[in-house]
Each structure stands twice: as C-alpha cells, then as structure tokens.
Structure 1
Amino acid sequence: MNSESTSTSLDLDRLAAYLQQHVPDFRGPLKADKFAGGQSNPTWLLDTPERRYVLRRQPPGQLLKSAHAVDREYRVLRALAGTGVPVAHAWHLCEDREVIGSMFYLMSYEDGRIFWSPALPEVERDARRDYYASIVTTLAALHDVNVDTVGLGDYGRAGNYFERQIELWTRQYRAAETEPIAAMNALIDWLPAHCPADAKRLSLVHGDFRIDNLVFAHDAPRVRAILDWELSTLGNPLADLAYFCMCLRLPSKGNISGLRGLDRSALGIPEEEEMVAQYCELRGLPRIENWNFYLAFSFFRLASIAQGVKARALQGNASNANAHEVGAMAAPLATLAVELID
C-alpha cells in the first residue's frame, strides 16, 4: 500500500491517548502516514511499535447529507467478520468529533498488493485471468451473504434499489453542480424511465467495487480484503457487477484508468461476457437482461461522485491532490453512459 508521509492534520498525541483507552493492547508512540489514494474519506496508516492500523475519517468542512458515512463502513466490517468475505478487522468507531475533528474508525492493516490499473502490469500475463476469476468469486461471495443472519437486514431502505439510487445521485449531483453537463441531464431523464425489475432478495452491495479497492495476497491471485465500504447498502447486486465491468470501457489513461482501446486478449484479461457468465454460474442466475442499463447507471453514479470531488476541490476541502483531475472526469463519464443508451 502506497502512502504519502504527512500527519499535519492529526493530533498524534491526543489520538494515541484516546486509542490507548479504547483499543485493546494499543500502545504508542504513534506515527501516521496519509494514503495518497482516495477522494472521499481521508485515510492514514498508523504505525506503533507492536502493530499497524488504518484510520479512516470524515473529511473536514461541510458535508453532503448521507455522504462520508464512516460509521456505516465500520458497521459492515463488523457484520462481515467470520462470513468468509475478506475484510479488515474493525477495531473501534469514534463518534466524538472532538478527538481529531471528525468521526473516524480504526481497522487492521491488511498487508498485500493493491493494483491501480486493471491491466495488471505487475502480474505475469498467464496469471491475470486467475486474478480476475478471484475478483468475480469474491464479489459473488459478498452477494451471497444472508443480510438478516449477519444483522444487516435494516442496512438499506425498502423499495426499488435503482429508483432510490438514481434519485440519490441526481440529488447529490445537483447539490455539487458547478456548470450544466448535457449528458448528465440526458441520463437524469433516461434512467428513471428504464429501471428493470429489482432482484427478489436484496443483497449487500459494496457500491465502489473496483480493482484498487481490493487487497490481494502477495503470493497468490487471492483477494484478502475488500476496502472502502462508504457506499455500501442493500440493493441489487448487479449494480456491483456492472460497476466493476466499467473498467473495460474506461480510458486506459487518466486518473481512473481502464482498458478501453487495449488488446485484452493480448493482455490475458477475460472478456466481459466471460466474467458475467462466471458470476451468474456462481450465483445460479439466468442470463442478465438490460445489461446496458446497469452499465449506464454505473457511469452516471461515478460521474456524480466525480462532480462531488470537483465541488469539494473548489471549496478547498478535497482530500487528494488530484481532486481537480478527478472532478474533470464528470462530463466524459456521463458521455460514456450516453453512448450506451443511444
């Protein structure tokens, strides 16, 4: 995991004293390095003489309603412990904003490999298919979790998931809008009119399931932790599958890189049809209808997220130095979605 050395926004002495009171066997002194990745909830690697931890906090400044829900992240990590879905251990949630200036939680540091490009340049060609198979297997396992059994039956609202999500991300986009984007307006009109019937049983959906939110084992194509649960809720699991498959259509160069224009066969990357078929087989699902809707919705949601990053950057509250570049992706992402519905 890559990090940039900075702890200027954390009072380490106060934080260490607090954690020593609330986390079993926690002992200072404490060092902190802020992770370079991530746009929403600032994240730090904490080093102590005996153990490493990860701290995720809400960003400073005015926050959109329901955004940056670190308490929900903590809850879902606790619920998934022991289910077989690979997650970090959740140590402690601090709702007292006086400690470091915002709500935060502490989880275990999962040592492993994080890949920032879905082309997997760090991996031998013949192994890349196995990494993708592990990703799909992990996603299917997540969606097979019985939410009532793990205490997450109330983790999302009732009603059609996509209708609620389109309403949510339209509202979030409008709240962060800085200039008109014609493609976003077209999607806001088209998506509600084309919602498919919802799944019979809602699943736990991650909401941001992409390759750089996965930690892999050092020695095998095996996912050892799913990161960044801020957008998780109960909903239609096909949203996660389509969101991951966006990487096949995203440009190969840019702040959020994809595989568009690359020879996936030469790279050893499976085609979309193969990944979707593997997922459906693992979960016992029939052929997926209206696939382009799920893809278009995924681009729309990511465009809304990018617009939120742009708004925070203009306000001076972004948690990452590349926030302006990410924010500039809102319009191109919306255009890619419109291509799917035209």
Structure 2
Amino acid sequence: MQSNIVTPIADTINYDEAEQQFINLLDLENLDSKLESQPELASIVDNAIAQAIENAFSGAASDDGAHLFLQRILYRINRLQLFWYDDLRHYTNERSPYLNKVRDTIETPWQEWELSHLDVEAIKQLDVKQALTERSACDLNPPLSEDSRYLREEMSEAGYRHVLAIGSFDGLVEGSRLSRIMGGAANEVHATLMRVLIEEYGNGRLSRKHSTYFAQMLEEFGMNTQPESYFELVPWEVLACANHNFLMTERKIYFLRYNGGLTYFEVAGPATYRNYLAAAQRLELSQAAMGYWELHIREDERHGQWMLTDVSLPLAQRYPDRAWELVLGYDQEKLMGDRAGVAIVRLAKQA
C-alpha cells in the first residue's frame, strides 16, 4: 500500500491537516512498525494533539476548534470498537499500540476536565437512592426551557432538518454502545438491561429497530441514511457524549457510572423528544417525518422506569461503597447532554 503520509513543513498547527494525516495513519498497513522506523509520520498529529490539549483544557478560555479536533480524533479511534459492515482493511489497526496511546493521551486530561465541572466529593456524601429517585422525578417532566420553547414554537423546517442530520450520528446506530456491556454473569440487572437493548433493536426485526424509524425520517426529506453521513455537522459537544459512553462501556470499572448515565438518558429522553415532536407537528410534517419521536416517548418512559427501579437502585444496594458512582454517572450524563442540547439548538438557529 502506498503511503499518503506527509512530513510537517511548518510549525503552525492546522487541525484539518492533522486530522487528515490521522485518517491516513488509520489505514496504514503495519502502522506501528513503520512508526518505529519513521516516527515523523505521526509528528503533525502528535504536535496538533499536544497543542489542542493545551488550548482546550488549560486556562479560562475554551477553544472550540481544539475541542472539536480532539473529539473527532478520539471518535475515529473509538468507532473501531463497532463493526460498520465496510471494508475489513479499515480494522487493520484496531489494536494498534499507537492508537491506544493517542486515545489515552486525549482521554486523561479530557476526563479530568469534565470531572472538574462536578462536585464529586459532595456526590459521595449523598443518600444514593434518594438522590436518584428525586433526580429522576424532576427530569421526567422538567419545566420548559428557553431552548425547548424555541424548538417547539420557532424552529424552521431547515432547522428541523439540521437537527435530524446531527441526530442521525447517534440515531442510526442506536443502542450500539449499550450492547458492549451485556457480556458477563446473568442476574436480574443484566436481564433488565437486555430487555432495554432488545427493544432498542426491535426484538431482532430490522423493520422495528429504532434506527430504522430514524432512517425513515431522513428518507422523508430525501436525506442520506448511511451512518455518519453528516459527521461534518456534528459539534464537539455531541461527539463528547459519544466518546464518554465509549469509555464508560469499554472499562468495566465504570459500570456503575455508565448505568447511572443511562438512567438519566432514558428518564430524560421523552421530554426532549416531545420538543422535537411538537416542532414537527407545528410544521405539519408527515407521520414518517416524526415517527421516531413518538416511538421513543412511548418506549423510553418505560425504559427510564426500568433503569431506575430495576437497574440503578439494585446496583446501589449491591455496591454500597461505590453506589455514589451511579449519581456521578447520572449527573455527568445530564451535564454533558445539556451542553450538547445547547449546541444543537444553536446550530438549528443558524440553519
């Protein structure tokens, strides 16, 4: 295979150039052995990552360009944990030590930065069952925010299409990360998680899989239904949510945090979907252009209850010394989800 790698010719950091260099590295045969003899092949990428980490996580001002670059690089590594029914050669470096090093280099300061936005010590002092129960009750039917009112009352059809494009990033592969925690011992918690996963996957029928309903919404507007088709539109805040969940499911030490986060996601989902459904109804769109929202409002209300009563609360009882991690996961998913929601509304307005 002919290499598309180029060596750096300037000291200025160009994130687009560095990302393209990284894409070339991903498919480079014998990547690690070649980097041993030619470390300069990765110098543009490595320098850009180091600078982006400094720009994104140090100082008072946050650099959105640096965040986007880092999250895109991290996602390109993490997505190798899923199978995309594409050319098998794209997975040649899925266990590359270099890619693992890049992932760890980004994840470590990023996760420290994310946790700095939460009072972890205060969370450790909470009554976990009370905290989860109260939070779930509040997030099930929250008061309408300014952004929620915008979606319901003002968003244009162009904005709606933009929301669908960004939403397709997750909607077309829905449930994929949940599947990664399903291996292991069987018990009641495991059985409930499997029920959630099975419903997300349409009980094994493609026509009933949730991603199929999302694809139907895209088809109604003549939009591309291939996963990641609108990757270029996805803001870093949304990518961060995906990468965070990859990390939570990749490391079993974070099992409690992941399930706390999934509890929030399922509990709060219907409130968000009602905003999108109201927008579609106001715009007088077809049933096919809004069916996914109706399905999720109905099913996620049930999933949220399952996650609270049959997963999170039993896990809190099973792991009393670490149960606070469930609340941490819940609060972190809410914080990151709210941040992503703000970014999506901002882009919908621009559309």
Q: TM-score, normalising length from structure 1?
A: 0.32
**With CA pairs under 8 Å and 6+ residues apart, which has the higher RCO, 1 or 2?**
2
Q: TM-score, normalising length from structure 2?
A: 0.32
Structure with the larger strand share: 1
